[in-house]
Structure 1
Amino acid sequence: MKDIVKVLIVVVLLASIKSHAQEFTGVATYKSKRKVDIKLDSTQVNSEMHQKMMDMLKKQFEKTYILTFNKEESVYKEEESLGAPQPGGMEVVMINTGGADVLYKNTKEERYTNQNDVFGKIFLIKDELKKLDWQFGSETKNIGEYTCYKATITRERPKIVGGISVNGDKDLDEEKEPEMETITITAWYTPQIPVNNGPGNYYGLPGLILEVNDGSETVICSKIVLNPKNEVEITEPKKGKKVTKEEFDKIMEKKMEEMKERYSPRRGKGDGQEIEIRIGG
């Protein structure tokens, strides 16, 4: 009889542990910063204006994101904030081709859904999560109260990500294929939060990713609330025109060409200065 009781206790404990694992949820706040180093013709932009523009761009790239997650799913989106003021006498057009208004990830099913609002039209991009070949390191560091371990991955991307045009001049080598470069992405993850997830499209490590650096942008976690009192809702976006990643990229290219024509001084903007910066994904 005692043996039966022991077995029943073990079964109840295992069921309790499984139930707890399924209910494990959290909300993580991330902040991003990007290096900005743009060289402009001093005959067109003086040093004071150049510095103001650099300061404004740094502010543009200082964003806050919220990752809501459980063991298998997550929703990652930018926290709304007021835009940075434009430097006097200059209009800066930011075109981000690699972002997402709402990014849903399902790490168990290895798929994602991006919901993007492109100039008032909403698109849904659905695709498989790209497998990331992480290389594990032995280095550790603390981020807040969590011990984090280092992992790296190499990836190719265009050496010149996007372009800059001043006073409507076309980008150099605009018609040529971009030169590629190999970069190293460094992530810091903590096994203390046992979820296979992280900011943006990053995932695939045995613990929540708290920091990612790709050489130009750093995204770091500033706050974590585990199992919050208020119920965490993780909902996959459903609204929007369904397109493939390839179709969406073509739409973005067309929109960028339209924006260039719209803001070109040759279209009636006079002699005003124009800076266009594209940030690719």
Structure 2
Amino acid sequence: MKLIILNFPLYICSIGLFFTTNAQNFHGKATYVSKSKMDLGSYGATMSEARKKQIAARLKNRLEKTYVLRFNSKESTFLEEEKIDAISGATDSWGGYFSRGDQYKNIKESTLVQSQEFYGKRFLVKDTLYKLEWTMGTESKKIGQYTCYKAKAFVPDIELNWYDFSWSDLRTSEKKADQSAVVSEKMVVVEAWYAPQIPFAQGPGEFWGLPGLILEVSVDNTTLLCTEIVINKENKVLIEAPERGTDITKKNYAETVRNKMIEMRSNRMGRRG
């Protein structure tokens, strides 16, 4: 039996009460669309609108992505749907180096397993699941047929982007290495909207721990929005952690990526010399 919830608003209310005592028997699949605003900084002020549109088209695969969350009351997986570059006809291999890999969360045991591939080597990142300290408010809005409530959390940026890399992050870490420099840890604001009618403490990516499935979450210039939900009772959704790769922690993986990028920078500068 499959219930495509967003298409049956009257039935949602009738199963809502049933969920509260039987959520452990249900499994779900939710599709999320991620959209990021292009930030060109001061450089963008010198560009024409036509040029900005060209860049946005080129970066479309990085600015707009689709993910699938499969979940039950205990576990979830979060996987990106691979897209073909509309211009070149190829997958975005460079952007893939710093993209989120296939992710598994176990919120009961507070464990994270995430598959990452970097320069031809596969890593299996295993670590403790970061617990967000949510502040729940009373503000509400509709997402599809669900009444959702707002919650906020302040989170260290590194906990959300440990698999990513930027040269600005590298410069910050180099400043930290200088004992005379005082660099505070970057914190970001997470804004989430959760649906108590779907009583699973699950959500996309690193976000979880609210009394209802998170249907929308925004951080910096990126928003993840749920576009479809399917709830199953009889047909269980297969939820398995990735298994292939060299075991590593989040911290050590981030250091591995950073060291490789430093090596590339040194090699490039050496060739110029």
| Range class of TM-score, shorter chain | 0.7 to 0.9
3-state secondary structure, aligned to 2:54: helix
**Do 1:36 and 1:58's aligned partners in 2 also have CA atoms closer than 8 Å?**
no
Rounded to whole Å, the distance in 2 between the matches of 1:267 and 1:223 is 51
**Do 1:60 and 1:84's aligned partners in 2 also have CA atoms closer than 8 Å?**
no
> Which structure: greater helix fraction?
2
Q: How does 1:1-281 map to 2 (within 5 A)?
A: 20-39=22-41, 48-85=50-87, 94=95, 97=98, 99-157=99-157, 162-163=166-167, 175-177=174-176, 180-227=185-232, 230-260=235-265, 264=268
In structure 1, give the amino acid aligned to 2:225. Answer: I
Rounded to whole Å, the distance in 2 between the matches of 1:82 and 1:208 is 30
3-state secondary structure, aligned to 2:175: coil
Deviation at 1:51, TM superposition (A): 4.1
Shift of the 172–75 alpha-carbon distance from structure 1 to 2, 3 Å rule, reads closer
What TM-score does the superposition give when structure 1 sets the normalisation length? 0.72
Deviation at 1:261, TM superposition (A): 6.1
Rounded to whole Å, the distance in 1 between the matches of 2:105 and 2:137 is 26
**Do 2:194 and 2:216's aligned partners in 1 also have CA atoms closer than 8 Å?**
yes
What TM-score does the superposition give when structure 2 sets the normalisation length? 0.74
Rounded to whole Å, the distance in 1 between the matches of 2:215 and 2:269 is 44
Rounded to whole Å, the distance in 2 between the matches of 1:34 and 1:190 is 23
3-state secondary structure, aligned to 1:176: helix
Deviations 1:94-144 (A, max 9, x none): 4764x4321100011111111112122111111111111100100111111
Rounded to whole Å, the distance in 1 between the matches of 2:19 and 2:47 is 63
3-state secondary structure, aligned to 2:230: strand
> Which shifted more, 174-183 or 248-257?
174-183
Instruction: Count residues in correspondence.
Output: 238
Rounded to whole Å, the distance in 2 between the matches of 1:188 and 1:233 is 26
3-state secondary structure, aligned to 2:59: helix
Rounded to whole Å, the distance in 2 between the matches of 1:172 and 1:235 is 37
Shift of the 260–45 alpha-carbon distance from structure 1 to 2, 3 Å rule, reads farther
Deviation at 1:241, TM superposition (A): 0.5
Deviation at 1:60, TM superposition (A): 1.8
Shift of the 46–265 alpha-carbon distance from structure 1 to 2, 3 Å rule, reads farther
Deviations 1:141-168 (A, max 9, x none): 111111111100113438xx8247xxxx
Deviations 1:210-268 (A, max 9, x none): 00011311011011001177541001111111012222111111232355467x59859
Residue identity over aligned pairs, in percent, reads 38
- What corresponds to 2:14 in structure 1? none
In structure 1, give the amino acid aligned to 2:214. Answer: I
Rounded to whole Å, the distance in 2 between the matches of 1:39 and 1:78 is 27
Deviation at 1:85, TM superposition (A): 3.2
Rounded to whole Å, the distance in 2 between the matches of 1:253 and 1:95 is 16
Deviation at 1:184, TM superposition (A): 1.9
**Do 1:29 and 1:64's aligned partners in 2 also have CA atoms closer than 8 Å?**
yes
